């Protein structure tokens, strides 16, 4: 029975814990269930044993569900998290998802809701917690696309990688179109296929979708694999990689400067268009660090962007993995445009 998934239930009401335990023990995967009536106890249990899933209440005394979430998300990034709460409030739902929960569920009130909730939990347990794309574990995105094409499927793959979202349309085993925030067609496919992890969902085919990609899938996948290999090689020399990436970002209109700041390690910042790049890098590093810390304290999720306007330039700052990307634009460029450009730049940077 070594493969039985383990669920940790956290709620401050012992009677509810008993009832949940009863409900979840009936799941087809026969999970092993442990309970905790306090956040502190739950965290110590998580530290001593490996769990597949944490189901937590939100409203609890001493340490509330959001506090538990913020600790657990950092300490156990692979643990799947579910919030089960009676608190009906859009704000808490948004915050919980912003902090990376897999599911936010209002406490079931009918037998039908309990059944649906149990099915969702079973589905989450099925998915396991290996790397790769959630949904088909241990498979890269290239593998997933190849499987779709080889099986002559027709479907729409919706892929999510952090805050980014992309779609790939497959019709009768051929890739016919792709789209991600700023890109379309083959460009979008190249971009999306470079994502190394994330989650994906399959939607029914859209046969009426206009075809924009005419290259066959083998060539597209081969090219993607080569690009990924090259990117891997570049990683061995971060300074060269950063410099090459900055060159690619210079095409954005109204750009005054670009600065790439490593947030960890000893690598120095790379820039274009800046004379005092170390001072700006210090501002970028400190702002990302301190506002990220503030976000953790307030339990409001990660920073998406920092936008600033000054007498000389509009500035956008975004964290991409363990780097910060800072871009300055001429004042004539609106802040809204700065935000859009920053989003497109971060996609290009991450690819």
Partner 1 sequence: MGFLNFFKKTEASGLTRLPSGSFTVDASGRVLTSTLPSGFPASYTQEIAVQVLSSFKQAREAQLPLSELVVNYASLRLTARELRGGAIIFLAPQTFKRS
Asked if 286 is part of the footprint of partner 1 (rule: CB under 8 A), the reply reads: yes
Q: How far is the CB of 141 from partner 1 (least distance, A)?
A: 24
If the CB atoms of residues 39 and 175 are measured against partner 1, the closer one turns out to be 39
Residue the block writes with tokens 């696309």: 145
List 55, 149, 280, 345, residue binding partner 1 (CB under 8 A): 280
Residue 297 Cβ vs partner 1, minimum distance, rounded to whole Å: 6
Instruction: State yes or no: residue 345 binds partner 1 (CB under 8 A).
Output: no
Instruction: Compute the chain's Rg from CA coordinates.
Output: 23
Tell how far CA 31 is from the center of its chain: 27
For partner 1, give the closer residue by CB, 1 or 88: 88
**Residue 303 found at the interface with partner 1 (CB under 8 A):** yes
- Give CB contacts under 8 A, 24+ apart, made by 196-199: 196/140, 196/141, 196/228, 197/131, 197/132, 197/133, 197/161, 198/133, 198/134, 198/141, 198/159, 198/160, 198/161, 198/162, 199/133, 199/134, 199/135, 199/159, 199/160
98 touches partner 1 (CB under 8 A) = yes
**φ/ψ of residue 47, rounded to 5:** -75, -30
Provide the 8-state DSSP code for 152. T
Q: What is the DSSP string of 133-151?
A: EETEET--HHHHHHHHHHT
Shortest Cβ 342–partner 1 spacing (Å): 10
Q: Does 254 bind partner 1 (CB under 8 A)?
A: no
Tokens describing residue 254: 């109204």
Q: Is 155 a residue that touches partner 1 (CB under 8 A)?
A: no
d(CA 8, CA 10) in angstroms, rounded, equals 7
Report the run of H or E that residue 272 belongs to, with start and end: strand 270-272
- The residue within the footprint of partner 1, chosen from 188, 242, 249, 315 (CB under 8 A), is 315
Q: Is 161 helix (H, G, I), strand (E, B) or coil?
A: strand
Q: Does residue 295 bind partner 1 (CB under 8 A)?
A: yes
Binding window for partner 1 (CB under 8 A); candidates: 11-19, 33-41, 71-79, 151-159 = 11-19
Name the 3-class secondary structure at 256.
strand
Closest to partner 1 by CB, 262 vs 328, is 328
Binding window for partner 1 (CB under 8 A); candidates: 121-129, 181-189, 264-272, 300-308:
300-308
Residue 291 touching partner 1 (CB under 8 A): yes
CB of 285 to partner 1, least distance (A): 9
CB of 69 to partner 1, least distance (A): 12
Closest CA to 256 of 303, 310, 306, 305: 310
Q: Which of 28, 294, 321, 322 binds partner 1 (CB under 8 A)?
A: 294
What's the CA gap between 178 and 192, in Å, rounded? Answer: 8
Q: Name the DSSP letter for residue 194.
A: T
For residue 261, the minimal CB distance to partner 1 (Å) is 12
For the segment 101-130, give every residue that binds partner 1 (CB under 8 A).
107-111, 114
Q: Is 59 in the site for partner 1 (CB under 8 A)?
A: yes
Considering only 43, 66, 260, 261, the residue that binds partner 1 (CB under 8 A) is 66
Number of residues forming the site for partner 1 (CB under 8 A): 61
Angstrom distances, CA of residue 79 to CA of 99, 130, 131, 224, 295: 13, 10, 12, 30, 21
Nearest distance in Å: CB 138, partner 1: 28
Name the minimum Å distance from CB 67 to partner 1.
9
Specify the DSSP class assigned to residue 210: P
Among the listed residues 302, 340, 344, 348, the single contact to partner 1 using CB under 8 A: 302
Q: Which residues bind partner 1 (CB under 8 A)?
A: 13, 15-16, 19, 58-61, 64-66, 86-95, 97-99, 107-111, 114, 276, 279-280, 282-283, 286-287, 290-291, 293-295, 297-298, 300-313, 315, 328, 335
């Amino acid at each position: 029975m070594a493969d039985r998934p383990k669920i940790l239930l956290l709620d401050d009401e012992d009677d509810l814990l008993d009832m949940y335990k009863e409900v979840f023990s009936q799941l087809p995967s026969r999970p092993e269930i442990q309970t905790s009536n306090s956040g502190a106890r739950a965290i110590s249990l998580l530290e001593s044993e490996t769990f597949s899933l944490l189901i937590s209440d939100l409203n609890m005394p001493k340490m509330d569900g959001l506090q538990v979430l913020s600790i657990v998300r950092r300490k156990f990034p692979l643990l799947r998290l579910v919030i089960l709460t009676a608190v009906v409030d859009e704000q808490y739902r948004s915050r919980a998802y912003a902090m990376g929960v897999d599911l936010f569920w209002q406490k079931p009130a009918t037998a039908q809701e309990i059944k649906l909730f149990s099915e969702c939990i079973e589905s989450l347990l099925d998915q396991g917690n290996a790397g790769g794309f959630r949904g088909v574990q241990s498979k890269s995105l290239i593998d997933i696309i190849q499987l779709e094409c080889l099986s002559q499927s027709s479907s729409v793959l919706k892929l999510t990688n952090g805050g980014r979202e992309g779609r790939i349309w497959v019709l009768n085993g051929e890739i016919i179109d792709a789209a991600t925030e700023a890109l379309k067609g083959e460009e979008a496919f190249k971009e999306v296929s470079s994502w190394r992890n994330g989650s994906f969902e399959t939607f029914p085919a859209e046969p009426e979708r206009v075809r924009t990609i005419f290259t066959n899938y083998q060539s597209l996948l081969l090219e993607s694999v080569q690009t990924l290999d090259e990117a891997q090689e570049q990683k061995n020399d971060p300074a060269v990689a950063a410099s090459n990436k900055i060159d690619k970002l210079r095409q954005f209109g109204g750009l005054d400067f670009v600065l790439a700041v490593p947030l960890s390690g000893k690598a120095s910042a790379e820039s274009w268009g800046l004379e005092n790049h170390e001072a700006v890098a210090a501002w970028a590093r400190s702002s990302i660090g301190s506002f990220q810390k503030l976000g953790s304290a307030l339990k409001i999720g990660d920073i998406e962007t920092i936008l600033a306007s000054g007498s000389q330039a509009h500035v956008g700052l975004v964290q991409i993995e363990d780097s910060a990307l800072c871009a300055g634009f001429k004042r004539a460029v609106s802040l809204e445009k700065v935000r859009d450009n920053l989003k497109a730049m971060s996609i290009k940077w991450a690819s």
